[in-house]
A and B are shown apart, each in its own frame.
Chain A
Amino acid sequence: MTGAADALIRVESVSVAYPVPGGKVQALTDVSLEVRRGEWLTIIGHNGSGKSTLAKLFNGLIIPGRGSVTVDGLSTADDEQRKRIRQIVGMVFQDPDNQIVATIVEEDVAFGPENLGLPRAEIIERVADAMRRLEIEDLRQRAPHQLSGGQKQRVAIAGVLAMRPAVLVLDESTAMLDPSGRTEVLQAAQALHRDGVTIVAITHFMGEVVLADRVVVLAEGRVALEAQPRDLFAQPERLRELELDVPQVTEIAARLRARGVDVGLVPLTVAELADAYVRLPRAAA
């Protein structure tokens, strides 16, 4: 499915430069892409390739020097629309400690809707709904600083969700988490995605990229590749040129193939590779 009707965010011929001493840094150059309603789009690319800059364009934190960004048809360059756009596009960042404002979980989740000036009953309803969907109801009265990293990130996501965004942008939201925290956050994102929330995920973990419907690769401020995960990971040399990599299981399959054991697919998960391997005919040595 492609085409204008599906595009929730549309980035057209955008360039962004940051001023620095003695000149400027070109962060994005002539980037065009769309985020489609209901998809899980993952953005990867080397450090400094422009991912976070792109994310900040999506909700009008940065206005492009050249080109245009529209969200649900609203231009981010239009000051009147920016508040509305920030509600449509919710953002969660890397550090679980820097995103929480209140001293009690429930109050933190309510912070956004309260700032919208919504009626009390609506706030209560939204907070309860967001906490239920992130499975943090049992933490409602806890102090955020006492929570694990995964719990804190789910509180941060609940706070964003209470704004009823159409898109959730996760800019390396799992980077600081332990393995169970990462799993918690990714499972929560998958559940929201199933319920129709559009997900834009930025990550350096190739193992997480497999969750995407579609992947955009940035390199030096330009779109270098766009593909589905399996097609992307079928190109390990190209990815390495772009300073990226393939998931560990994909790499294992590639090395087996190079040594004459071909499992017959580009596996993305442990289960896929294990299943393919046991199906191989065993040759006696």
Chain B
Amino acid sequence: MTEPIIEVRDLWHWYLRGTPLESVALQGASFTLAAGEVVGIMGHTGSGKSTLVQHFNGLLRPHRGSVRVFGSDLGDKHVDPRPLRRRIGLVFQFPEQQLFDPTVADDIAFGPRKLGCDHAEVRRRVQGAMAAVGLPFDTFKDRYTFGLSGGEMRKVALAGVLALEPEVLVLDEPTAGLDPRARRDLLNVLRALHDERGTALVFVSHNMDEVAELVTRVDVLADGKTVMSGPVREIFREERRLRELGLGVPAATELAGALRERGVALRGDVLTIDDAVEAMMWTSSSSPAA
């Protein structure tokens, strides 16, 4: 078996360490990502998701435990994490933390320029990334990054990372604030990157429907610890456990539960709209008349 791209073991992290306000954000989190995988991370607010993913490209360093990324040991202070950032693109939870340049096109071009792309390549990537997130190039290229609506700002931050064309994309609640169309389009873009280029994806989300649609495996954090990990279908079978952890199940799964409570026999796991339609079609055509 090849070595995982990201391997986190028993990770601990404190904020304001050594001050009276010290608080522990991670206390024994673990995580692995293999090449080409699509993994979801869920957990209540404050469970440590954002803290965990900021270790993946060395923005935060482990206080205890180990973080290995593309073979580098990020616990070793002498390891320079910057080369990793070309390979692992991280989209922050709060887009305003990610935008630096005054105008939209310059902000998105920043990464490709730093990678040494020539002018034509920078332009190709910026236009491609803006199209992928649904920002019309001519309308938005010269707009100020701080004079945008919330969703538009999110799209610029996403485009800036997509333009890096990294091998791994780590997205921290990327659909928050996006309209339904932009959400759907983003999921399609991510799926295409995975299917066509083999991009590995880490998708942090509070949206159970999206997790069910996109990922194959899920990790669940609670109070800084990894408490569940497994194939998405198995995780969403644990509805009661998930609710105790402040989470839920996809709407389609909820519907299947409500139907079963009402005595309807449904086949298999129901996670997505497609699953629900298929299961309900099958039942309505195969059950004997009441």
Chain A residues at the B interface, C-beta cutoff of 8 Å: 18, 20-22, 25, 45-48, 52, 94-96, 146, 148-150, 172, 175-182, 204, 206-207, 240, 243-245, 247-249, 251-252, 255-256, 259, 261, 270-271, 273-275, 277-278, 280-285
Contacts and interface: CB of A to CB of B under 8 A. Distances in A.
Interface stretch (B1-9, B57-65, B71-79, B144-152): B144-152
A243 B250 CA distance: 22
A178 B206 contact: yes
Contacts of B277: 252, 255-256, 259
Nearest to A243: B181
Given A175-B176, A243-B179, A270-B251, A256 B280 contact: yes
A149 B46 contact: yes
Contacts of B180: 204, 206, 243-245
Nearest to B47: A178
A17 to B, nearest CB: 12
Given A248-B251, A256-B280, A277 B259 contact: yes
Contact of A48 (B151, B184, B288): B151
Interface string B226-252: 000000000000000001001110111
Contacts of B276: 252
Contacts of A150: 45
Contact of B184 (A176, A178, A245, A275): A245
Nearest to B133: A47
Contacts of B287: 282, 284
B179 A181 contact: no
Contact of B251 (A20, A95, A243, A247): A247
Given A176-B45, A179-B206, A247-B251, A22 B182 contact: no
B255 A252 contact: yes
Contacts of A261: 280-281, 284
B113 interface: no
Interface residues of B, number: 59
Contacts of A284: 287-289
A277 B286 CA distance: 14
Q: Which 9 A-B pairs have the closest CB atoms?
A: A47-B151, A149-B45, A243-B181, A245-B180, A248-B251, A179-B248, A274-B258, A180-B246, A46-B179
Nearest to B155: A47
Contacts of A252: 252, 255, 273, 276-277, 280
Q: Looking at B43, B178, B206, B287, which has the most chain A CB atoms within 10 Å of its CB? A: B206
A179 B280 contact: no
Contacts of A47: 149-152, 154-155, 177-179, 182
A274 B262 contact: yes
B173 interface: yes
Contacts of B184: 245
A46 B176 contact: no
A202 to B, nearest CB: 10
Contacts of B152: 47-48
B94 interface: yes
A24 B94 CA distance: 26
Contacts of A280: 284
B162 to A, nearest CB: 17
B173 A176 contact: yes
A244 B182 CA distance: 9
Contact of A148 (B45, B173, B288): B45
B139 to A, nearest CB: 9
B241 to A, nearest CB: 13
Contact of B246 (A25, A148, A273, A285): A148
